[in-house]
Amino acid sequence: MQHEKREEIARVVKYVLFSASAGLIQSLTFTLLHEIVHWPYWPCYLIALILSVLWNFTLNREFTFKSAANIPRAMLMVAGYYCVFTPLSTLWGTALTNEGWNAYIVLFGTMLINLTTEFLFWRLVVYRDSINTNARAKKDMEIEQTQPQEGTE
């Protein structure tokens, strides 16, 4: 039981760290398009979001969830999440920035909502039955089984 709890905490930490790198990609892309190209909020946001999702999906599938799940199926499920999240977040982002909210406050608030809801969706829906099934997870299990257990010496 304690091992599973530690493993889940480690999964959350990895997810947050990888998502932070995706957030950096999203922020830089948004900033370049917003400040240099001077596009409105919504195309800057959508392009930045797509790039960060592709990055985040790739890293978290391999390292956080260690999943051997069918990639096209998993991507379709993630696309389904974004079919709901993207229009909603684009609408509220556009509405808030049109009301005078700072675009970066809206962007970072939206990113925090995305971080939380996406983790839950990936953990409970996309990878629910395939966590720790890829080659990396199997190798980690072999290493763990060869090490002495705590309190057995």
Distance of alpha carbon 55 from alpha carbon 14, whole angstroms:
14
Under 8 Å between Cβ of 119 and 61: no
Q: What is the pTM of this model?
A: 0.80
Helix (H) or strand (E) run with residue 72 in it: helix 71-98
Under 8 Å between Cβ of 141 and 75: no
- Domain range summary for the chain, segments of one domain joined by +: 10-142
Distance of alpha carbon 117 from alpha carbon 124, whole angstroms:
10
Per-residue pLDDT of the chain (153 residues; tens, 9 = 90+): 788 899 999 999 999 999 999 999 999 999 999 999 999 999 999 999 999 999 999 999 999 999 998 999 999 999 999 999 999 999 999 999 999 999 999 999 999 999 999 999 999 999 999 999 999 888 888 887 787 766 555
